[in-house]
Structures are given as C-alpha cells and as structure tokens.
Structure 1
Amino acid sequence: MQYKIQFILLKPELYDTYIEIGTKAYNQHYTHLWPYGDTSTYIENSFTKEVLLHEEKDKNTLLYIIKTDTKYIGILKITLHKKIQGYDKTEALYLDKIYILNEFSGKGIGTKSLEFVEKIARANSKKAIFLEAMQKGSALHFYQSNSFGIVASTQVPFSNVIEKEKPMYLLKKDL
C-alpha cells in the first residue's frame, strides 16, 4: 500500500500526540534494551511535555510528527547544526530520532522520512547527515541500504540499559 506522508512541525496542541506516538513506537522497538522492559528512563528523557517545551524553544531542534492521510504513525527529531566527527556545526545535521509505529514499518515510510531529512540538510547547505543506530537489529541494515556508512562505535548513553545491548554505531551519509 502506498501512503501519502506528511511531516508536521510540532506545535503545543500536538504534544500529547507526539508523546503517545513516540512512546508507543519506542516501546515497540526497544524494550529489549532495558531490564524488565522498563523504558521509563528513556521516556522521561524524551517524551514529556517539559522535554518538548525545552526542545521546541531550541532553534537548533526540529520536531515532526509523521502522518498518513488519516493517522499519526511516527516522529522525527532533528538537530539542525551539530559539530560531529570532523565536521563543524555548520556542515552537519544530526537525525536524533526516527521512530515509526511497528505496523507501518517496511512500507517505505522510513525511506520517505530519510528523503525529507535530506531535503532539510540540503536546504541548510549541509555536507553530511549523521545518526546513531543499534549494532543489533534491522535498523542498521536499513540505514546502510540508504547510503549511510559506519564511521564510529558508540553506545546508548543511559547507565541502566542492559550492558550487552548498549553498542551502537555512528553512521554518516555524505551529501
């Protein structure tokens, strides 16, 4: 099925929707990282009204809700200017979050989301897009199939994540 996708810039009246979709999508994909599947540390640091108010005031942060014609299906968080891996902040964009509800995974929405992010990067004269992905799981293959290459090893920054699940890669796509 082909979906018409919209990327809606977050406004306060959509905070509850962003929190609901972000939390649900995160929990569908990442509970295995956390002891007893308790993702509350991540949720409290990512999906509260206080966090969104702070992020929305930051001119360097762009928050979007991904929507089909009739349903909200995911979220994006972009750091517009970031000094990273040999690039100064004017040269690199960082894709901080891309979470899509499980029932919409594998339907081309992730690819359309990456294309949207790339348009933003090009409009801001960026030389590269960076993101992080778990070393285990399907997301890594997805990013690599979309021209992202591994440039470094990192890890989940929360101390209470299961140790063997912490490894991540920093990936980059040159523009």
Structure 2
Amino acid sequence: MIIKAEEKDISIIQDLAEKSWNFAYADILKPEQIDYMLDLIYSSDALKIHLENPNFHYYLIKGNDEFLGFIGFEFHQELGTTKLHRIYFLKEAQGKGLGKKALNFIKEEVKKIGDKRIILAVNKNNQAKSFYESQGFKVYDEGVFDIGNGYVMDDYLMEFIL
C-alpha cells in the first residue's frame, strides 16, 4: 500500500531513512558521512520544508501492517522534469517487487501532472543503478556534488523518458 505522507509522519520517514541508509550505504559511505547526510536531509525542518512545497511529495510504502520504505519526488524540478529524490526500503523489504511498484506509481503520478521525464542521482558504487536500468532508466551524465563538511557525492545521473 502506498500512502501519502504528512507532517505527522516525519518521525516514520526519519526512522525508515536511518535504517535503510545504514543498510544501503554501509559499504559505500563512512558512518560519519551517513550520519551527516541523514541530519542534513532528514531533519524535521528539512522534511517540513519539503512537505510544505506543493510540488514535493513523500509517500510511505506499507505492507503487512508495517512501514517498509518511502519515496520522495518533486514535480517540475526542471521544465517538464520530475526528480526522484528518494526511494528507500528496509533490508527485509528488498527483492519483493516494492521498488518496481513504487517506480510505476511515480511514473503514473508524473504522467498525471504532465512532466515527460524523471531524473535521479545514484551513487556510482550503489548496486541500485542496475535496478534503475532494469526499469528503463539510462545514465545521461555524471556529477560530483559537494554536500558540505568535506563530503562529496559521486553520482550517475539517470533519466526515464515517459
């Protein structure tokens, strides 16, 4: 089940982010960088700003009466383009088709709003790249982004054309 997140759900998003990030990035990023990024991206203030933006949407993914993951995307991040900022699942939820379901949900939402392209950034060492490719995303560029505190993200930039 995919449920629209609201301000009352911020603690759920934060909990899911912490658990999923510590699993997804354990072999990619140092624990200090994971902590820094979680504080930066998932602080209550940052999430409130996103939830107040009419183009930014968070959805919780629920199964068997528990929250298993979440997605966050922003319509019109560029002209005709939606950016998938976040798609994370707990370790135990992986491999059950939830990521594919979530991406199909996003694609349908993007069609409704009229954007023609979905973009995302994925760490060059993240095995999720092959998942995105299996769902029709293609690398269109690479980028190294300074995120502060001496940390950078070295990413593939991927797109899906609707």
Q: State the TM-score, normalized to the length of structure 1.
A: 0.85
Please tell me whether residue 174 in structure 1 is matched to residue 156 in structure 2.
no
In structure 2, the CA distance between the partners of 1:102 and 1:155, relative to structure 1 (3 Å rule), is: farther
How far off is 1:73 after superposition?
Answer: 0.6
One-letter amino acid matched to 1:55:
H
Residue 111 of structure 1 aligns to a residue whose secondary structure is helix
Give the equivalent residue in structure 2 for 1:120: 109
How far off is 1:12 after superposition?
Answer: 2.3
Residue 61 of structure 2 aligns to a residue whose secondary structure is strand
Could you give the per-residue CA deviations for residues 26-64 of structure 1, whole angstroms, max 9, x where no partner exists?
1111134433x1222111112221111111111121011
Give the equivalent residue in structure 1 for 2:58: 63
Structure 2 residue corresponding to 1:76, chosen from 45, 59, 71: 71
Identity fraction in percent:
21
Give the equivalent residue in structure 2 for 1:3: none
One-letter amino acid matched to 1:52:
L
Unaligned segments of structure 1, at least 5 residues: 1-5
Please tell me whether residue 146 in structure 1 is matched to residue 158 in structure 2.
no
Q: For 2:65 and 2:16, locate their aligned partners in 1 and report how far apart those are by CA, in whole Å.
A: 14
Could you give the per-residue CA deviations for residues 75-108 of structure 1, whole angstroms, max 9, x where no partner exists?
111011111xxxx2xx111100001111111111
Structure 2 residue corresponding to 1:129, chosen from 108, 111, 118: 118
The ranges of structure 1 where at least 4 consecutive aligned residues each deviate by more than 6 angstroms after the TM superposition are none
Give the equivalent residue in structure 1 for 2:99: 110
The RMSD of aligned alpha carbons is 1.5
Q: State the TM-score, normalized to the length of structure 2.
A: 0.91
Give the equivalent residue in structure 2 for 1:30: 25
Unaligned segments of structure 2, at least 5 residues: none
Residue 147 of structure 2 aligns to a residue whose secondary structure is coil
Q: For 2:5 and 2:108, locate their aligned partners in 1 and report how far apart those are by CA, in whole Å.
A: 18
One-letter amino acid matched to 1:154:
G
Structure 2 residue corresponding to 1:46, chosen from 19, 41, 44: 41
Contact 2:75 2:115 in 1 (8 A): no
Q: For 2:77 and 2:9, locate their aligned partners in 1 and report how far apart those are by CA, in whole Å.
A: 26
Aligned residues: 160
